[in-house]
């Protein structure tokens, strides 16, 4: 255990883990340390992990239950693993907007993880933001206003944000199904007990019981507030890099600054529970 290192990458969130070979099964002591680090830092990173898809899936299963993604077809031999791919000629990337994954589901995922397979020579970093801090730095009066509210999240808004997140599972041969779910604006984390701001610009369309027009001024403020630079960190990928983040209290944004180059990562989503309020 003395060989495992945990180094913070920013003041707000994020830690890089060293001294762990994820090709090997995690013993209980190592797993407990990693989960504690993940809950404390919201997103943890690993470098130089040359995992096969089966090994990547085995690591994911140590943290939770992998589930198939609603709109993107997984690998033939491992349908829980989806390719996050941008080709050299494409200009729209996957997840290129601030969001918490699939907040429009009744039970959004607990966590997501990516392993980098092919990386452009420069660019393609991912930003992460701490939603605990986004909530805790609001005024007491605004926190009281938000705590009883619920936010309506729609998968159709992801289309308007121009991400590739909601491509059809079979490349458009099926009829599109839209998902809609209302969740607490202030979400209490089931493991840490801390409250986080749980709205995001990619999916949240309005407050429950209000119109979009009525909701827009306050939502626009929250969207700007929750991605302030001091709440975030930035991760530069290399082949074999892994990121594991907590969707219950963190958002992320894939930077689309590598046109003309191919980028491929593999992603696994872990099942979550129905969000609860404070």
Catalytic residues: 99, 101, 252, 267
| Angle at alpha carbon of residue 86, lines to 111 and 225, rounded to 5° | 50
Radius of gyration from C-alpha coordinates of the chain: 18
- Judged by DSSP in three states, 28 sits in helix
Q: Which residue has the tokens 């082949």?
A: 239
Give, rounded to a whole angstrom, the gap between the first and last alpha carbons of the chain. 36
Q: How far apart are CA 212 and CA 223, in angstroms?
A: 14
Q: How far apart are CA 104 and CA 130, in angstroms?
A: 20
Kindly list the distances between the CA atom of residue 271 and the CA atoms of 22, 36, 73, 80, 81, in Å, as whole numbers in the listed order: 21, 19, 17, 11, 13
């Amino acid at each position: 255990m003395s060989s495992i290192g945990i180094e913070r990458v920013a003041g707000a969130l994020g830690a890089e883990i060293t001294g762990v070979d994820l090709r090997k099964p995690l013993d209980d002591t190592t797993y407990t340390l990693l989960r504690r680090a993940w809950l404390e830092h919201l997103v943890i990173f690993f470098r130089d992990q040359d995992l096969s898809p089966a090994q990547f899936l085995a690591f994911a299963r140590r943290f939770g239950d992998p589930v198939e993604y609603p709109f993107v077809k997984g690998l033939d031999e491992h349908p829980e693993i989806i390719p996050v791919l941008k080709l050299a000629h494409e200009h729209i990337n996957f997840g290129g907007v601030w969001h918490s994954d699939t907040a429009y589901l009744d039970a959004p995922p607990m966590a997501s993880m990516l392993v980098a397979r092919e990386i452009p020579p420069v660019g393609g970093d991912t930003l992460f933001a701490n939603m605990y801090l986004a909530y805790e730095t609001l005024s007491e009066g605004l926190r009281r206003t938000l705590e009883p509210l619920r936010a309506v999240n729609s998968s159709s808004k992801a289309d308007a944000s121009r991400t590739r997140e909601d491509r059809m599972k079979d490349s458009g041969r099926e009829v599109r199904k839209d998902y809609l779910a209302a969740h607490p604006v202030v979400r209490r984390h089931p493991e840490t007990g801390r409250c986080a701001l749980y709205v995001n610009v990619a999916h949240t369309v309005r407050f429950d019981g209000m119109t979009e027009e009525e909701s827009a001024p306050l939502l626009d403020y929250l969207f700007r507030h929750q991605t302030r630079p001091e709440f975030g960190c930035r991760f530069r990928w290399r082949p074999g890099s892994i990121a594991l983040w907590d969707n219950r209290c963190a958002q992320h944004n894939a930077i689309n600054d590598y046109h003309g180059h191919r980028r491929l990562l593999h992603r696994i989503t872990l099942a979550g529970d129905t969000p609860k309020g404070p």
